[in-house]
Amino acid sequence: MDRTRRLRSSEALRSMVRENHVRVEELIYPVFVIEGENIVNPVASMPEINQYSPDRVMEEVDRVIEAGIKAVLLFGIPAYKDEAGSGAYAENGIVPKAIRLIKAKYPELIIIADVCLCEYTSHGHCGLVQDGIILNDETLPLLAKASVTYTKAGADVIAPSDMMDKRVLAIRKALDSAGFVNIPIMSYSAKFASGYYGPFRDAAHSAPGFGDRKTYQMDPANGREALREVEEDIKEGADLIIAKPALGYMDVIKEISLNYNIPIVAYNVSGEYAMVKAAALNGWIDEKKIVMENMVGLKRAGAKMIITYHALDVARWIHEDMGRICR
What are the sequence ranges of the domains in the chain?
Answer: 20-326
Residue 237 scores a pLDDT above 80: yes
With the CA atoms of 245, 246, 248 and 251 taken in that order, what torsion angle do they form, in degrees rounded to the nearest 10? 120
Q: What does the pLDDT average to over 222-246?
A: 97
Q: What is the mean pLDDT of the chain?
A: 95
Which residue stretches of 43-166 are H helix? 57-67, 94-105, 140-153
pLDDT reported for residue 67: 97
Q: In this structure, what DSSP letter does residue 1 have?
A: -
Q: Is the pLDDT of residue 326 over 70?
A: no
* Residue 162, burial from CB neighbour count under 10 angstroms (0-12, 13-18, 19+): buried
Model pLDDT, residue 142 = 98
pLDDT at 89 over 90: yes
Residue 123 has pLDDT above 80, yes or no: yes
- Tell me whether strands 50-52 and 27-34 are parallel, antiparallel or unpaired: parallel
Supply the pLDDT for residue 211. 84
pLDDT at residue 19 greater than cutoff 90? no
Could you please state the CATH topology (level 3) that the domain comprising 20-326 is classified under: TIM Barrel (3.20.20)
- Confidence at 241, pLDDT banded by 50, 70, 90: very high
Average pLDDT over residues 234-261: 97
Residues annotated as catalytic are: 191, 244
Q: How far apart are CA 310 and CA 47, in angstroms?
A: 10
Average pLDDT over residues 220-228: 96
Q: Among positive and negative, which fits the CA dihedral 199, 200, 206, 211?
A: negative
| CA pair distance 192, 245, nearest whole angstrom | 7
